[in-house]
Structure 1
Amino acid sequence: MDTPRNTTSLSEVLYHLTVMMLTLGQGIHSMPVPTDLPMCMASEPAQYRLTFTGKWTQAAFPKQYPVYRPPAQWSNLIGVTHSSDYHMWQRNDFASNGVREFAEKGEAWILMKEVEAAGERIQSVYGLFSAPAVVGGTGQMNTEFEAFARHSYLSFIVRLVPSPDWFVGVDSLDLCDGDQWKEHVSLELFPYDAGTDSGFTFSSPNFETIPQEEITQITSSFPSHPANSFYYPRLKQLPPIAKVTLTKIKKTNQIPSLPLEPTQSNQLLTGNEIEDTFTNTPLDCEVSVWSPWGLCKGKCGDTGVQHRTRYILMHPANNGAACPLLEEERKCSSDNCL
């Protein structure tokens, strides 16, 4: 079962992240440079502000939207700047043990160790950073990080809470263009399945996927199963469930100050903080299969009537198709009359 606070305290995580950033950064000058990809030629490092915006609303995702135990929310963000020969996670590849633990439970320690090991082994990682959790389906988290020419790629992961093993994130986004750093990047985010848990719904119990499957993007028609919480066959594609904005800022010598725990005041959206309008996704009514026909009721020698019923599995929302009739009758001939 998912719980909103089943991870080690963020203050401890941030302490270890800071130590690891300093440790990993010591080896950047000796990193082997790949020759098969265009290199970043920027002469100076760049500092970026990352803003993650949750767009997981009941209007946009009405099917089985989690409202309690726990309600819809986002885990803390784990990000890394790196070179082109490193991947925190990749679509159509198998999740590492660290990504598995984070996607299923929100536990970051194994993932952090994997990043640290990559930095020590092939010196492909420069910095590891984090941002605090968002306490609702909508809200924002912010952090700042530094990128160098030899480590110009950004990857991060954020878990959907509750979910079996679902997450959003970015894999190897290059922040450099030739000899210039990109000033502004904005990306819409869609859910991914880590391939380690076989649950179909947000609140599914833990059911390990054996054998493990590859990381896949969840769409309105995949997995193609009516029980899937993201199954909206009328839609060509899901609305974005989150958004990330990256803005290049002037470099300072100060380490960014992050709130140690998510709070209502710094996470919930107020006023015009977000210009995006939220989507209203139509949810059609879903009903069960018909029951068997009941007994034929009527007098012997006369035409009788029998009934069958079905029940509502999912009530419609946002102008979705209304429910059909739940009871049906037909004429019949009485059996076993004396």
Structure 2
Amino acid sequence: MDYLRNNLHIFEALFHLIVMILNLDRGLDAMPVPTDVPMCTASETAQYSLTFTGKWTPAAFPKQYPVYRPPAQWSNLIGLTHSSDYHMWQRNDFASNGVREFAEKGEAWTLMKEVEAAGERIQSVYGILSAPAVVGGTGQMNTEFEVSTRHSYLSFIVRIIPSPDWFVGADGVSLCDGDTWKENISLDLYPYDAGTDSGFTFSSPNFETIPQDKIMQITSSFPSHPANSFFYPRLKHLPPMAKVTLTKVKKTNQIISLPLEPTQSNLLPIGNEIEDTLINTPLDCEVSMWSPWGLCKGKCGDSGVQHRTRYILMHPANNGAACPLLEEERKCFPDNCL
């Protein structure tokens, strides 16, 4: 009886070892499938319209707002419909070479090659969508796209122009709720830093970040540096820079044609977006450090006066704090008096 029991234990151990080896081998050839993601069981594909609306105004973002060479504007939108096991980009993760080139230069060639490779390797990408650039901080761009039950997620990216490597976008927006496609989705968009360029301002020269940082959301207090174009210490949160609305539309057999030229509108649309014109972000005055004290001017034997000055770095706007005094004086006694 003991002999049979010992053989049974040996057999069970061998069985578990074989299963472990088979699972390890399988893991080398296939991507893991997430098990905590709700499955979409909708019966057919769905078609959506996408509207991107810029909210980048001088009133909402008065600090260093770009007015020329180039003025504030948005790149074209590049997006994907995909399954839950794919990410075009992720917060707190490193940007791919494709995302880096798009965030820094607006070039999408490498990004498209990465998407193509992912689609061939794990069949995770269903379709690519694009919308034209917006010449202005507050224009609109539109496009339409299709999603399937296995590829029910949307990701996209839009470069902020000008900027070192900043962008807005979304990572893995689910368009399906169980067996139903969502009718309407609205997304407020905030700036992200791709972590590949170390510039602080919209017009900073290229300065590669070595080693590369992870993608981080830019806030009113991060990066915590007064030179940062988005540094507004009086705000708890930045206002949204843009907004995307997704609307499910009735499917047709019509071929979708995308405009190839940038849109020329630089005005906020009327209707539900009109309240955005009321956003006024207070911008406090910023001044330089004090200069050294000047020469002491006065008669020998008597007290004199010396001055120091500072200058305005940033004028206040939207009821921000006024500038302090730009000149000070103090009493002194002349040196080297004969």
Distance 1:305 1:268, change over 3 A: closer
SS in 1 for 2:113: helix
Find out whether 1:120 has 2:120 as its counterpart. yes
Alignment-derived partner of residue 200 in structure 1: 200
Q: Which amino acid aligns with 2:45?
A: P
Find out whether 1:309 has 2:306 as its counterpart. no
SS in 2 for 1:154: strand
Q: Which amino acid aligns with 1:165?
A: D
The percentage of counterpart residues that share the same residue type is 85
Find out whether 1:188 has 2:188 as its counterpart. yes
Find out whether 1:72 has 2:42 as its counterpart. no
Report if the CA contact (8 A) 1:283-1:317 is conserved.
Answer: yes
Q: Which amino acid aligns with 1:199?
A: G
Q: Which amino acid aligns with 2:337?
A: C
Q: Which amino acid aligns with 1:258?
A: L
Q: 1:50-199 residue pairs with structure 2 within 5 A?
A: 50-199=50-199
Report if the CA contact (8 A) 1:33-1:150 is conserved.
Answer: no
How far 1:44 moved relative to its partner?
Answer: 1.2
Aligned length: 307
TM-score normalized by structure 1?
0.88
SS in 2 for 1:114: helix
Find out whether 1:277 has 2:272 as its counterpart. no
Return structure 1 stretches of 4+ with deviation > 6 angstroms. Answer: none
CA distance in 2, matches of 1:273, 1:133: 22
CA distance in 2, matches of 1:47, 1:219: 34
How far 1:98 moved relative to its partner?
Answer: 0.3
Distance 1:296 1:38, change over 3 A: same
How far 1:315 moved relative to its partner?
Answer: 0.8
CA distance in 2, matches of 1:143, 1:207: 34
CA distance in 2, matches of 1:176, 1:162: 35
CA distance in 2, matches of 1:201, 1:33: 41
SS in 1 for 2:151: coil
Alignment-derived partner of residue 238 in structure 2: 238
CA distance in 2, matches of 1:35, 1:330: 72
Report if the CA contact (8 A) 1:55-1:242 is conserved.
Answer: yes
How far 1:270 moved relative to its partner?
Answer: 5.0
How far 1:160 moved relative to its partner?
Answer: 0.3
Which segments of 5 or more consecutive residues in structure 1 lack a partner in the other structure?
Answer: 1-30
Deviations 1:264-317 (A, max 9, x none): 26x654544733423111111100011111111111111111100001111111
Alignment-derived partner of residue 330 in structure 2: 330
Distance 1:273 1:68, change over 3 A: farther
TM-score normalized by structure 2?
0.88
How far 1:263 moved relative to its partner?
Answer: 3.4
Report if the CA contact (8 A) 1:59-1:318 is conserved.
Answer: yes
How far 1:214 moved relative to its partner?
Answer: 0.1
Q: Which amino acid aligns with 1:274?
A: E
SS in 2 for 1:103: helix
CA distance in 2, matches of 1:110, 1:261: 22
Report if the CA contact (8 A) 1:73-1:135 is conserved.
Answer: yes
Distance 1:222 1:32, change over 3 A: closer
**Backbone CA RMSD of aligned residues:** 1.5
Deviations 1:211-246 (A, max 9, x none): 100000000010011111101111111110000000
Q: Which amino acid aligns with 2:304?
A: G
Q: Which amino acid aligns with 1:299?
A: K
SS in 2 for 1:120: helix
